[in-house]
Amino acid sequence: MLQMLITNIIPEQNISRRNHNRLCHETDALLPILNEQTGLVPTNFPATKADLAVIDPFQLDQLLAFYNLPFVGFNKEKHLLFSQFIGID
């Protein structure tokens, strides 16, 4: 039952969350993306786009690892990858 929820509902919720994040202004609250394997959200997800703009490299690496995204490369590339992953272009 839990696996069915994770497989079916979480991807749909993440689409809605990414759409919300795409429309956010700098000080609007971002919605955390759910980890598609566990359904959990990281405790250190940036609260706003302004927070994301000044995220430190260590926190960014932790977030990329949490979502099983590659975290090799320069900080600018990792920042762009994470931004796109959460729905911000």
pLDDT tens digits along 26-74: 999 999 999 999 999 999 999 999 999 999 999 999 999 999 998 888 9
pLDDT for residue 1 is more than 60: no
Read off the pLDDT band of 10 (50, 70, 90): confident
Query: In this structure, are residues 14 and 33 in contact, taking their beta carbons and an 8 Å threshold?
Result: yes
- Domain residue limits, the chain: 2-85
Residue 7 φ then ψ, to 5°: -70, -40
Residue for token digits 């992953």?
A: 85
Residues recorded for the chain: 89
| pTM summary value | 0.89
